[in-house]
Amino acid sequence: MKDKTLEGTTTVGITCADGIVFASERRASMGNLVAHKVAEKIFKIDKHLGATIAGSVADAQSLMKVISAEVSLYKMRNGENISVESASAISSNILHSSPLYVQTLLGGIDENGATIYSLDPAGGMIKDTFISTGSGSLFAYGVLEDRFEDGLTVEKGVDVAIRAINSATERDTFSGNGVLVATITKGGFKMLSEDDIKKKLKNLS
């Protein structure tokens, strides 16, 4: 039997003036079967760091545990938070040394501002202002290209991210079953409640 995967996933990461917005849908599949309707695809790494996942569920969960441990060890040894770039570089090295069937967006906010990196299964590391992964990314990018602008606030970035994920779930058969949204600001990592997301979806429609 095929492993449970997030291969058809749609995730979005947006760099804003005052932080980061991550969003994803919630479907996990095994081939053509919808195996899980409430998959968690956004992870808190630290209060200033978060990530999204796509690919093998087992590989993704393993990677998140290792990254979280490395970030905690860095803080213990150095007495300060790791930078977003350094956390991404460590993650890149982990993937490069033992490739995992997973693609992740890692981002957060530090003394240099808000930053997002895309990491591929072989360890490739690319910085960008907004990124989408997965089978629905084509539809998500259509919204992101149209709606993203320099100086975008996190509040407005949340609306853009929800629009992008909603567009993907409307057109991509492998994406669906709800929306997850997280923000990272100077105040820390925050997951939006299901009710808040439903209200925003209603207002946007």
Catalytic residue among 9, 10, 11, 52: 9
Q: For 161, phi and psi rounded to 5 degrees?
A: -65, -45
How many angstroms separate the CA atoms of 73 and 75, rounded? 5
Specify whether the CB–CB gap between 21 and 154 falls below 8 A. Answer: yes
Residue 133 annotated among the catalytic residues of the structure: no
Single out the residue of 107, 66, 114, 113 nearest to residue 90, CA to CA: 66
Phi, psi dihedral angles at 32 (to 5 degrees): -90, 0
With CA atoms as reference, report the closest residue to 121 among 141, 138, 101, 136. 101
For 79, the token pair is: 């007495």
CA 196 vs. chain centroid, Å, equals: 19
- The residues carrying an active-site annotation are 9
